[in-house]
Chains A and B, each alone.
Chain A
């Protein structure tokens, strides 16, 4: 059992035990309160450059399996937990969590008072950086404070070239801002013929593919750091083709329609907040991982309808264009991980493309 340290840019040091990779890494530290789904969370590209604190006391008991990858190569910077199960015993496992993290050069640290850490993070204003290190000396803190994290996360995780995920149904173009596999899985379940396009593709190039529908994928980071050309593309496409934005895609959809984005006082990552679908008053639960949100006051009600809100922090969870079949959700409807009731968003989307398709 090797001792390692988690150090925070506010000067705090935590002693714990190493697992996963022995690498030293730095990243932005966030906490997630989900009780299940650690593999999906760790492999989701939205955690690019981030150290994830799990509030659930034990992870690793079900190992790592084929069905739960959200990206082939995880790019999270670290995993912090109270207990890690040393051996995976789930029948679907291919690797233990420890092996998997080792393989992907991601360090983990266990034996941390994660409850205290979560309580600290929830009251800390603004992002906090952290490192997992061998020695928590002045040098380590200097290194941490000198670390400059990129604000071009999307560029680092999104696909540089198009690829197909063929199916026999509707022709769907997914624009990749850091796509997670859950979105492709849900489209595949519905038979869609998917083409994944890089986020810097022009609107014309996408229209040339004659899509029945367009998905703006989720992804990491601040949407305001993306080039304006992305917003122009969205603006052009939304008037022509049914559109669904998810996560970062939702934030970009809002920006393209003249709303503004703000950093949330405290990031929320978990799957236990009630989300109200306004039109039906229906309550549902979904996985959420949010550091940014749409500023409610900035929304032009003549352009956009607010369709969903989070009943805990009142954040905007869904928008819809008044004039075009285009809508977006802040939460993760692909349920990987997360409750399944939100997957209806994909049914809605496919039906939207379907009815349009017939009319054309």
Chain B
């Protein structure tokens, strides 16, 4: 351990006066789902276990951690605002800061604090990343220089302060070039410019976003193989590799928009170990104490590589690898950050060896498929630029896990589409040959289907490899899928082919399409032929040790490792892949449901396929299935787990319908599928939110009496003699939260009653300081408490604080990413929101 690192590591035993500020993640956005919230929760739980005094600062209305801070003090305020952070540091007497669960924004906040000598003046330490490294992360030019000192190959790259200087560089390097901002505001983008015109545009944007009015012009390495390694390093300098993933797509498509696969498939051991070694060298040089994600561009032809990106904090890759391997990355990294050595960290008791030092190895294949919500916009008659570039366009992702690449890819695809009709083998049959070639060269969001279509039209693997610059290996895998599709279609009703199809990840729905029958018929046939899924454990030793990690995926093999739990079981289908809109809010609500069920002593089983899902935090529930959420997937799990209740988010209409036919206790956590209030702009001014514990039609009178909260406008409206609430009876089918909306235009006369959007429910929780979701779960279980009854009877609006807590939607620069034909306005296009309070203040939620 070095003297320097000593200073950074917290002394866990002499913590009397130490007070740690954990910077929250603030608004969700592109590349920022709930993985940071999940990491924050686990980090706070570790701080708590070490008896450390912590303060969590956040303004994300969908933050689960703010409601459940594991003993930490929560301050509601903007963690990305320097003034707020300084105010909190001073008022809370902060001695130490943890930025790594706040993403890149938190790194920038730290950099600004350094720039003002603020940390030195107050002797504040930062855990996880040395201050010199924080500077490097925010300054690509400095980072490149450091990497060069290490003899790590970096992309030829230079800084320019003017357009003409940038053009000089482009002339020197040669087109194509990549342009990025120095010290950008918001997420740093890399824009590819292949011509002078494109460079002009890219420079205008990049200069505008740079806080130093500088840009970086990089040599383009488009077409190389893109791989990511995730390293864990402790204060004593012990390093281990948590995993590595390979992008099927070459460099040139943003990694988050790439189809990613782990374990790495197409690298030789020599290449793999070379990059592992390089990753360790960089982590050592940057003196990282915790996690580091490093992205490489590999040039296999010239046996060469480049370092593309270094992120020494939590991101989607750490989250993905934790899901893929079952290794508790966030828990271990939090301990390491506090100065506990990897040799001393003990894994939870389910792990056979309990040592954090084992390097995870997989005996399954995990595919991460990005999800683009282009269609949601196109359905409104707005066209968008669907071509994938160096700028992230995806809004979510799914995981597919299986025992073959084919199975994992197909499961990820199924998870990304709620309906089979979107995912049919002939989906692209009508595409012209010319469009097909264009899209092979300039890929769109649909590329797996496109590649299958190309194979169908007779393209050979080597041709495709040349056009797409993807590894030929994947075309052989897709060819297997295609050939299987053909064979299955030729053998309707054949049990052997049915088995083979299931073995490689075909769903009942897909097979039904090929056999021109319905999914139920296929399911029944498979069932009676004994073709049922076997569930395997997601654990980090590839079967070498008996690891009791309660996390599973399905496949069709010999041995099933998942056994039913004793006691009452609740199955919770959580949000799945995020789309445009309130994914994070939905995940927040569903995770709260899981947490409450678990606290009520009910065994929880979560089904999710979102690698960033909050609901997959291991210690929140009892069991997890990382599976697609089609009816057949859910039924297979029901058959094994025999749940007493099934909880489903309200937007999964088809699933809800299918489940209700087969299970008596399907509970819909109701939400409006499209938040109408905002969709129609200011038309609805007034909103009344109410709760009913009755299933069926509620009496309008009763509804008025059970109103639990409403906002400022409603308060005003009711003073004026409104509301005379009359609900649309059919709207309320079961216990839950509903809203009645009044038109502002026609004298409060037009009303509509709908389920409450998750976003509003989240605001309600944060604004009133009462956890209405937990209250609802208890009501559904007939476990309502006296306090709950009081909250309901009083109608929280009497004591509500919503007046000074507002929720503002955060612009996601969607227009710059998607280039829509019309401006995209309205809450359904927003990925995140912030809570706005007049001044940072402590927050405690009841219930």
Give the B-binding residues of A (Cβ under 8 A): 31, 33-37, 39-40, 55-58, 61-62, 65, 67-68, 82-83, 85-87, 89-92, 113-116, 118-119, 122, 268, 270-274, 276, 281-283, 285, 311-312, 335-341
Contacts and interface: CB of A to CB of B under 8 A. Distances in A.
B361 A58 contact: no
B358 interface: yes
A319 B268 CA distance: 31
Contact of B264 (A35, A118, A272, A340): A35
Nearest to A83: B404
Contacts of B266: 61-62, 89-90
Contacts of A339: 273, 276-277
Contact of A115 (B236, B276, B357, B559): B559
Given A89-B266, A274-B240, A283-B343, A115 B404 contact: no
Interface in B438-467: 461, 465
A58 B357 contact: no
Q: How large is the interface on B (under 10, 10 to 19, 20 to 34, 35 or more residues)?
A: 35 or more
Interface stretch (B377-385, B508-516, B542-550, B615-623): B542-550
B495 to A, nearest CB: 15
B300 interface: yes
Contacts of B557: 113, 115-116
B715 to A, nearest CB: 60
Nearest to A67: B270
Contact of B362 (A35, A37, A119, A282): A35
Given A56-B363, A274-B357, A311-B355, A68 B270 contact: yes
A33 B559 contact: no
A82 B357 CA distance: 27
B473 interface: yes
B544 A33 contact: yes
Nearest to A1: B500
Contacts of B241: 285
Given A83-B405, A270-B544, A57 B359 contact: no
Contacts of A272: 358-361, 541
Given A119-B543, A338-B273, A341-B277, A57 B364 contact: yes
A273 B358 contact: yes
B494 to A, nearest CB: 15
Contacts of B404: 57-58, 82-83
23 contacts: A36-B267, A36-B268, A36-B273, A61-B266, A61-B471, A61-B473, A67-B270, A68-B268, A82-B403, A83-B403, A83-B404, A87-B461, A87-B476, A89-B472, A89-B473, A90-B268, A272-B358, A283-B343, A285-B240, A285-B241, A312-B358, A337-B270, A339-B273
Contacts of B300: 90-92
B281 to A, nearest CB: 11
Interface in B344-362: 353, 355, 357-362
A56 B276 CA distance: 18
B553 to A, nearest CB: 11
Most buried by B among A67, A272, A336, A338: A272
A55 B361 contact: yes
Contacts of B269: 36-37, 39-40, 68, 336-338
Contacts of A114: 363
A354 to B, nearest CB: 24
A133 to B, nearest CB: 19
Contact of A91 (B240, B301, B343): B301
B365 to A, nearest CB: 5
Contacts of B264: 35-36
B272 interface: yes
Given A61-B266, A283-B238, 18 more contacts: A31-B544, A33-B542, A37-B268, A40-B269, A55-B543, A87-B473, A90-B266, A115-B559, A118-B542, A268-B544, A270-B361, A272-B361, A274-B343, A274-B358, A285-B359, A336-B269, A340-B274, A341-B277
Given A36-B267, A118-B544, A337-B273, A311 B343 contact: yes
Contacts of B543: 31, 33, 55, 115, 118-119, 122
B103 interface: no
Given A36-B267, A61-B473, A89-B473, A56 B273 contact: no
Interface string B69-110: 000000000000000000000000000000000000000000
Interface in B404-434: 404-405
Contacts, number: 158
Q: Is the interface of B mostly helix, strand, loop or mixed?
A: loop
A236 B545 CA distance: 41
Given A82-B403, A115-B557, A89 B471 contact: yes
A35 B261 CA distance: 13
Closest 6 CB pairs of A and B: A37-B269, A89-B472, A337-B269, A274-B357, A118-B543, A116-B559
A271 to B, nearest CB: 8
A58 B267 contact: no
Contacts of A270: 361, 542, 544
A57 B403 contact: yes
B472 A87 contact: yes
A358 B236 CA distance: 35
Given A61-B266, A119-B559, A56 B544 contact: no
B265 interface: yes
A7 to B, nearest CB: 15
Contact of A56 (B238, B542, B545, B558): B542
Interface in B384-412: 403-405
A119 B542 CA distance: 9
B140 interface: no
Contacts of B361: 33-35, 55-56, 270, 272
Nearest to A118: B543
B536 interface: yes
Given A33-B544, A113-B557, A122-B544, A57 B267 contact: no
Contacts of A341: 277, 280
Nearest to B276: A339
A115 B536 contact: yes
A276 B357 CA distance: 11
Interface in B236-293: 236-238, 240-241, 263-270, 272-274, 276-277, 280
A91 B471 CA distance: 10
Contacts of B263: 35, 56
Contacts of B545: 122
Contacts of B236: 281
B357 A311 contact: yes
Contacts of B274: 340
A340 B542 contact: no
A312 B276 contact: no
Contacts of B536: 115
A65 to B, nearest CB: 7
A283 B360 CA distance: 15
A35 B243 CA distance: 10
Contacts of B546: 119
B342 interface: yes
A122 B545 CA distance: 8
B363 A118 contact: yes
A16 to B, nearest CB: 11
A340 B273 contact: yes
B626 to A, nearest CB: 16
Nearest to B365: A57
A256 to B, nearest CB: 31
Contacts of B465: 89
Nearest to A269: B544
Nearest to B404: A83
Contacts of A281: 236
A62 B268 CA distance: 6
Contact of B363 (A36, A39, A55, A122): A55
Contacts of A62: 266-268
Contact of A61 (B265, B270, B360): B265
Nearest to B236: A281
Most buried by B among A57, A114, A271: A57
Nearest to B277: A340
